[in-house]
Structure 1
Amino acid sequence: MARAPGLSGRDLVLVGLICLAWAGNFLTSALALREIPPFLFTALRFALLGVVLLPFLRRPAAGQWPRLLAVCLSVGVVHFGLSFTALKLAGDLSSPAIAMQSYVPMTAILGWFVLGEHFGWRTGLAIAVSFGGVLVMGFDPLVLDHPGSLVTMLVSAAFLALGTVLMKPLRGLDVFSQQGWMALVSVLPLLAVSAVVEPGAMLRLGEVSWVGWMGAAYAAFVSSLLGHGLFYVLVQRHPVAQVTPWLLVAPVLAVGLGVWFWGDRPGPRLLVGGAMVLGGVLMIALRALAKTRTAAPRDPVEI
């Protein structure tokens, strides 16, 4: 089948569904976190996801187990655990949704040092703009009221960037196998962390309302299974760099959900800083897309 030069109308519908799924996850998770502590919530999410994906697991190639385990711990335990902690600490949805995107420039920097993926001055400028936007956001009153949330989300983003870099050399695992192994490997460490930092939380699960369980189910089945599943469909048809810029709609939608349903009142610093973060991420994505087009042959590629 010939690879299309750009995303078609049908593909843009899939992008829209992905962005809606990921944006909605901020709202449903924030509601659930009122009842379930962050690390236990993450464990429940992965327990539900792991059960569903168990039949689809593929064994990783010989020698890849250490790297796969490192990815699972970096992303599944630390990144997700801290990202939900940041969401609980925040008084809004907007700043966590935007700050999360800082993993993109962090990934580019780690890729330089770990994988030797050097970038030019334009990408370097985009990285500087993104980090400058985080600083501007940090002085918004909405963020200053909960500074620990921003710091926690940046640490979470750093571990997502680390996991992304470690994941690149993995071979022979499709998106469902990657998600399935991450879910199964992460559950016990997350429960152990929860037992230490959230004592008694597991004993109170019987008191959780349908809202809390709905949030865990949404995170597992809509955000992870549907969102990442559709993303996998798209990257089978198009280069990843061609899809990535469109996914920046997700944090914009999350900000909208925060304003409409959560009562966020982002000030000018958060809006300007957020625009800088997302603008820098978009510049990085477009530079990656330009490199892909330069390296790609002019004739359609058969896949």
Structure 2
Amino acid sequence: MPPRHVALALLVVLLWGSNFVVIDIGLEELPPFLLLALRFTVVLVPAIFLVPKPDLPWSTILAVGATMSLGQFALLYLGLSLGMPPGLASLVLQVQVIVTIAASALVLGERPGRVQLLGIGIAVVGVAIVALGRSGDVPLIALALVIVSAATWAVGNVITRKAGAASGLGLTVWSAIVVPVPMAALSFAVDGPERIVDALANVSPLGIGSIVYTAVVASLVGYGIWNSLLARHPASSVVPFAMLVPVIGIATSVLVRGERPAPAELVGGAVLLVGIAIANGVAARIADVARGRRRAPDPVTAPITIASVVEDPPAERDVDPAARPGTA
């Protein structure tokens, strides 16, 4: 990729990695389900009037929204609100790559090879190390919710893959319609109207900034740039950058929130990332580069413009189910 596109990929990684801390800040002022409802309301309006509806059946759009948006983020936000550190959450959410590979084998018949199975096994060991070695201030229920969040996201990946559609900005926007009303209703039932009114009346600029950042910067801008890069370069050139998301997530959590991961969490996280890298073919690509093997030239190196970020990427780009990285 040209240097400018590499810089854009690194920018997206920075935006997504920092997103976990931003969510955690918002949860200090707003209940998780209310915060999620507000986030996806901002994702929808006014984007739904500007971004064309994907050429997919409504059943597929709603199913993707129910898994990737509603299920994934409801569980993630709840896990964070119950004490899951944001840096550790950014790491554990990468389990979605492993679950996607396994679910694709069961549903789509895409059998993983021996190397992928090895990577899955290593990643599972990494998760076990994190779970058993977590610090005492990380509740098991919070960790479990984030793992289930990753699994729910993986189901959405498989639905998207089965539909034969790319995970473009249009699908991100239009699938969000399933989130605001159910989350607002659930917040009303769980938190009560008094807490909702009090939270909204006393929300600070930081709380408002959390909503705007997660909706506009992380969801719309982040996915817009990412999918534009995937439209212009092979997924093998773009997707490995996503491995840096938990690195940024942990670093920002340490700097901003004072998070101090336990040694076992760091070791388990490293093992998890190694397993994901192997399962996702990153290790093989690095080995090819080290051996000096020539790769095919990137098919398109056109500059990325504002118009290309707003529009859905071309349909011919790679739709690898693991090509959508761990974000929040």
Q: Same fold (TM over 0.5)?
A: yes
Equivalent residues, number: 291
Distance 2:217 2:91 in 1: 20
* Match of residue 49, structure 1, among 37, 43, 47: 43
The whole-number CA distance in structure 1 between the counterparts of 2:70 and 2:84 is 23
Cα distance between partner residues in 2 of 1:163 and 1:193: 22
- Verify: 1:88 aligned to 2:81, yes or no: yes
Aligned-residue sequence identity (percent) comes to: 30
Q: Could you tell me the TM-score, scaled by structure 1's length? A: 0.89
Structure with more helix by fraction: 1
Q: 1:64-103 counterparts in 2 under 5 A?
A: 64-90=57-83, 92-103=85-96
Task: Tell whether the 8 Å contact from 1:36 to 1:208 is kept in structure 2 after alignment.
Answer: yes
| Aligned partner (choices 20, 29, 53) of residue 26 of structure 1 | 20
Asked if the contact 2:134/2:262 (under 8 Å) is kept, the reply is yes
C-alpha change, 1:272 and 1:174, in structure 2 (3 Å) is closer
Deviation per CA, 1:184-205, whole angstroms, max 9, x where unpaired?
2221111122222222343221
Which runs of structure 2 are paired with 1:104-253 in the superposition (5 Å)? 104-142=97-135, 145-170=138-163, 175-200=168-193, 201-204=195-198, 205-253=200-248
**Aligned to 1:168, what secondary structure does the other structure show?**
helix
SS in 1 for 2:260: coil
Change (3 A) 1:252 1:287: closer
Aligned-pair RMSD on alpha carbons?
2.2
Cα contact 1:138–1:144 (8 A) shared by 2: no
Amino acid at match of 2:47: L
Distance of aligned partners of 1:79 and 1:172 in 2 relative to their CA distance in 1, 3 Å threshold:
closer
C-alpha deviation, 1:94, in angstroms: 2.2
Counterpart of 1:4 in structure 2 is none
Structure 2 portions without partners, runs of 5+ = 289-294, 301-315, 317-328
Alpha-carbon contact 2:234-2:298 (below 8 Å) kept: no
- What amino acid sits opposite 2:93 in the alignment? M
For 1:77, the aligned partner's letter is L
Distance 1:124 1:10 in 2: 35
How much has 1:173 moved relative to structure 2?
A: 7.0
Deviates more, 1:44-53 or 1:241-250: 241-250
> How far apart in 2 are the matches of 1:224 and 1:185?
16
Separation in 1, partners of 2:128, 2:192: 34
Q: 1:299 to 1:207 in 2, by over 3 A?
A: closer
Q: Secondary structure at the match of 1:251?
A: helix
The TM-score with structure 2 as length reference comes to 0.82
Structure 1 residue 113: Cα displacement: 0.8
User: Which segments of 5 or more consecutive residues in structure 1 lack a partner in the other structure?
Assistant: 1-6
Distance 1:89 1:11, change over 3 A: same
Judging changes above 3 Å, is the alpha-carbon distance between structure 1 residues 110 and 14 closer, same or farther for their aligned structure 2 residues? same
Could you tell me how far 1:137 is from its partner in structure 2? 0.6
Secondary structure (helix, strand or coil) at the match of 2:107 reads: helix
